[in-house]
Amino acid sequence: MPYSQLKYTFSFALLLNVFFASNLNAQQEVKIAPKREFRGVWVASVTNIDWPSRQGLTADQQKQELIAILEQHKKTGLNAIILQIRPTADALYAKSREPWSHWLMGKQGLAPAAGYDPLAFAIRECHERGMELHAWFNPYRATMSANAVTHPDHITNKRPELFYRYGGQILFDPGIPENRAYITQVILDVVKGYDIDGVHFDDYFYPYRIAGQTIKDSATFEKYANGFTKIDDWRRNNVDLLVKMVNDSVHHYKKHVKFGISPFGIWRNFREDTLGSKTNGLSNYGELYADSRKWVKEGWVDYINPQIYFSFSRAAAPFQVLLDWWDKNTYGRHLYIGQAAYLIHNGKTKREAAWAKPNEIPNQIRAVRASNRVQGSIYFSSKSLSTVAKGLTDSLRNDFYKYPALPPLMPWIDDIAPNEPQNLTAEATADGVQLKWTKPLKAKDGETVSGYVVYRFAEGEKIDILDAKNIVKIVFLDYPFFLDTNVEKGKRYSYLVTALDRIKNESEASGPIGVEAK
């Protein structure tokens, strides 16, 4: 081959390499910093796992603790708090038919302070920080232990016939129709009374099996067989009925409130059902009577959040195998992966060395982002991100969640965007750049605005609202102003503002408007 042709071929190949490398880098960058991604964390109240840190704190101490927790998670780039508000048929909120939780003040039924509502406070603090609040209910658990001291008005004392005992706990019998109606009404108290973004169930349905113990519901089966001849199928149907009832009821009263469930990671094993995953572990379907795949297929949940608390090297249930299985079984609903931050270096995982490796969960996040149908992660639990999982938190802050993100869209709930903000102005002050605008008119579906996104661009930067690095503020409240204090004196900036509705549809942008910082 002549030198000139060789040189030309080499140059062309080099250009191709540069082109593909740039495209690859661009694609990787999109994966690293998506503008929409669910980034949640469980904040558990039961046994004071996360908040409040102990029983008997004053209202001010509880508030200060929660603000500190939210500030830390905001810095980490998280955008959703899964707050446990009903751990044992009790309440961390004022507008409840059940007594105050003893995890607050150490005694069930004892209010933390007059006029203080922990849930209302938490919602506002989350929304100010551009974070959703999903109210986490344990539907069936009524006590944590056999010796739990319950308030006289606790439903286990008023209606003991509605429960059975298992593993030292008192549990609602899912087969009793009255229980399904009662649990749904408890949830609707919150949906109607609070500005929550979601209703969330965890993995506790029928109890995890304990050797030598049986679920005492044969009399219930006989009374409410509902056409079933096999008790296992009947139990699964009981849970199905509750899930569908809650979903229908929540969306009837507030269509924008999302309903999600976080089941155990394995639906069924392949050896039990060829539709199941190539795993060999506990089966949601067979052992907890929770047909999690069906809930997604039937559209009874807006998101499914399987707890894949396994490493890539877990022989019985490898992370990648379950991720791929759930990816193929989303049926158009959102899939967020429950990830085990608490297992990092915590001493309980000596049998699984992978959790001692600092790149285990970062690699899981990369795998999540490489999947086309997975739209985020939720970490268990809040405290872990500041203790055993500090290294993970650093990775989230400096890499994966370096830039903010909006929650993924749910078009089956609402796909109509709000109108854009009006009359955007920018004024340079000694404190920074003060932005103000006028609330937009109602959208064509009649919805009002419930939040805003502010974008900032330095002089000469490309105006691009698809790139999350340009976001300087997200707020889920109708605050038509923003003071940007992180500006350099004498430097020129351009700003855009968009509006959000309750499901986080985003409007066209108002602006751009330029200003020179003082």
pLDDT confidence of residue 30: 41
SS (H, E, C) 106-161: CCCCCCCCCCCCHHHHHHHHHHHCCCEEEEEECCCECCCCCCCCCCCCCHHHHCHH
pLDDT score, position 350? 62
Q: How far is CA 261 from CA 137, 228, 300, 332, 406, in A?
A: 10, 25, 10, 15, 20
120 neighbors 194 (Cβ within 8 angstroms): yes
d(CA 305, CA 262): 4
Global model pTM greater than 0.85? yes
Report the pLDDT value the prediction gives residue 348, as an integer from 0 to 100: 59
Interval 160-182: pLDDT, tens:
999 999 999 999 999 999 999 99
- 169 forms beta bridges with 166
CA–CA distance, 340 with 309 (Å, rounded to integer): 5
Mean pLDDT by 10 residues, the chain (518 residues): 35 38 42 85 98 98 98 98 98 98 97 96 98 98 93 97 97 98 98 98 97 96 97 98 98 98 98 98 97 98 98 96 98 98 77 89 98 96 96 97 98 97 97 97 94 97 95 97 97 98 97 94
